[in-house]
Structure 1
Amino acid sequence: MTRVTPYSNEPPDRTGIDAMPGLVALEFGTDWCGHCQGAQAFLQPALAARPDVRHFRVEDGPGRPLGRSFKVKLWPTLVLLRDGVEVARVVRPATRDDVDAALDLLGPPVE
């Protein structure tokens, strides 16, 4: 299995995220979360199939401003943005199809 990068406890701030051009995936969770660990088997390949989407793994929890600004309540939560605007969200995805359906809302892959 591919090694998964740990969730970052120093994510970009909301202003920076809102200003990012193009497609962005924010994956909120924690390294110790069982739901987050289990979802990696399909989150990682689904996102790897979309190299046009910038992927940030953001450590979340009480007092974490970026997660609070997106109203994240359960992990993992995948928030998909186009030019800083939320297009889709998947909360606790159970299958790759859940993730692919959300990614499809971003439009076809850009090469």
Structure 2
Amino acid sequence: MPYSAHHLETAPDREDVDQRKGAAVLEFGTAWCGHCQRAQPLIEQALRDQAQIEHIKVEDGPGRPLGRSYKVKLWPTLIFLQDGQEVARAVRPQTAQELDDALAHLTA
């Protein structure tokens, strides 16, 4: 499942994420966040041809346990996971190269 344009209504539990098999990208942010909006074209471009990587777009905010468990402080934050384990992170990506470098940890 490549790029997802919409945030999940309900975020998965951390335990479910930790047990996930394969490659995934957790994206934390909100629809109204200016930094998130500016990053969307980069994120979409990076994930467009990555059908083997699941994109999980999670709405974050105070009291949201999944984001707190990953110590997310700025949006967007993308956590790159392989078999439930973090292998890379991109915080407020500004260039396609930042995302390509992080994706390289998943596609190697």
Q: Which residue of 1 aligns with 2:39?
A: 39
Shift of 1:59: 0.2
Residue type of the alignment partner of 2:63 = G
Residue type of the alignment partner of 2:93 = P
Which secondary structure state, in structure 2, belongs to the residue aligned with residue 106 of structure 1?
A: helix
Once the two structures are superposed, what CA deviation does each residue of 1:2-56 show, in whole Å capped at 9, x if it has no partner?
A: xx62222301110100010000100000000000000011101101221111100
Does residue 71 of structure 1 match 2:71?
yes
Q: Which residue of 1 aligns with 2:48?
A: 48
- CA RMSD, aligned part only? 1.1
Residue type of the alignment partner of 2:51 = P
Query: For residues 6 and 31 of structure 1, what CA distance do their matches in structure 2 show?
Result: 8
Q: Which residue of 1 aligns with 2:28?
A: 28
Q: TM-score, normalised by structure 1?
A: 0.90
Which secondary structure state, in structure 1, belongs to the residue aligned with residue 56 of structure 2?
A: strand
Which secondary structure state, in structure 1, belongs to the residue aligned with residue 106 of structure 2?
A: coil
Q: Identity over aligned residues, as a percent?
A: 53
Q: Which residue of 2 aligns with 1:83?
A: 83
Residue type of the alignment partner of 1:101 = D
Unaligned ranges ≥5, structure 2: none
Unaligned ranges ≥5, structure 1: none
The runs of at least 4 consecutive aligned structure 1 residues that moved more than 6 Å come to: none
Which secondary structure state, in structure 1, belongs to the residue aligned with residue 107 of structure 2?
A: coil
Query: For residues 56 and 69 of structure 2, what CA distance do their matches in structure 1 show?
Result: 16
Which secondary structure state, in structure 1, belongs to the residue aligned with residue 35 of structure 2?
A: helix
Q: TM-score, normalised by structure 2?
A: 0.92
Once the two structures are superposed, what CA deviation does each residue of 1:52-74 show, in whole Å capped at 9, x if it has no partner?
A: 11100000000000000000000
